[in-house]
């Protein structure tokens, strides 16, 4: 798959064409994560504008915050993070009601919404800030994330390289990066990169989306 095709197809190859939870949540290897309550997952899937757009259209999601996490500078900004020198990953903090949308669906959308087999790269976006990453706040989340990775590995020919690490401080990104797609639907990046991601989400997760 060349770079242009990769960018236009969310980096999802034909082997990942049928996400496990697209019809109903898969419970094989499930953990004891609760099926109710409000939870927040911090997930890095390349440029945060992309998954921000997808999760904002997901039922049961009450908040999505784009930000930076996992670096070594105390107050990172977008320019610094994009330089690749701060060690931060672009990520979204997704808050959702597990009684409305199962945690497994949130996580399977994450693995479907980017290519988790390419280290430090998503399409044309290259750098450690675009690494595939999951940041857990407790052992319960860690076990859930590990189970989701194992479950989704069968959809990929290459090994998933998503890092699963403890969550350090999450730095909220600048206002311009919050809900970027809705604010800038006709920007080139939104048209060429994000629109195909939304189309794929609608194809496989329509029952979990608000539109």
Residue carrying structure tokens 């800038």 = 184
On the question of pLDDT at 15 being above 90, the answer is no
CATH topology of domain 3-18+34-208: 3.30.1060
CA pair distance 44, 128, nearest whole angstrom: 11
pLDDT of residue 211: 83
Residue 47 a catalytic site member: yes
Q: How far is CA 205 from the centre of its chain?
A: 14
pLDDT band for position 9 (50/70/90)?
A: very low
Give per-residue pLDDT as tens, 68-115: 999 999 999 999 999 999 999 999 999 999 999 999 999 999 999 999
Element (H, E) at 171: strand 170-172
**Cβ atoms of residues 18 and 204 within 8 Å:** yes
Predicted local distance difference test score (pLDDT) of residue 19:
62
End-to-end, the C-alpha distance of the chain in Å comes to 29
Sheet containing strand 38-45, strands side by side: 163-166, 132-136, 38-45, 89-97, 61-69, 170-172
Name the active-site residue from 47, 50, 82, 190: 47
Kindly list the domain boundaries of the chain, sorted by start residue: 3-18+34-208
Q: pLDDT digits over 129-158, tens only?
A: 999 999 999 999 999 999 999 999 999 999
Task: Give the dihedral sign, CA 113/134/102/47.
Answer: negative
pLDDT band at 17 (very low <50, low <70, confident <90, very high): very low
């Amino acid at each position: 798959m060349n770079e242009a095709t990769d960018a236009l197809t969310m980096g999802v190859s034909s082997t990942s064409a049928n996400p496990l939870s697209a019809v109903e949540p898969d419970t094989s290897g499930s953990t004891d994560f609760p099926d109710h309550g409000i939870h927040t997952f911090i997930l890095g899937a390349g440029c945060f504008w992309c998954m921000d757009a997808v999760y904002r259209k997901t039922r049961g999601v009450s908040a999505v915050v784009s930000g930076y996490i996992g670096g070594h500078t105390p107050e990172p900004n977008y320019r610094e993070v994009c330089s690749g020198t701060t060690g931060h990953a672009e990520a979204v903090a997704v808050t959702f009601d597990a009684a409305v949308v199962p945690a497994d669906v949130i996580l399977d959308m994450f693995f479907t919404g980017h290519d988790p087999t390419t280290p430090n790269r998503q399409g044309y976006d290259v750098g450690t800030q675009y690494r595939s990453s999951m940041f857990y706040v407790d052992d319960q989340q860690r076990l859930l994330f590990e189970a989701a990775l194992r479950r989704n590995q069968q959809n990929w020919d290459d090994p998933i390289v998503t890092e699963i690490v403890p969550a350090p401080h999450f730095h909220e990104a600048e206002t311009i990066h919050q809900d970027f797609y809705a604010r800038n639907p006709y920007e080139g990046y939104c048209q060429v990169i994000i629109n195909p991601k939304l189309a794929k989400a609608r194809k496989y997760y329509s029952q979990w989306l608000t539109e």
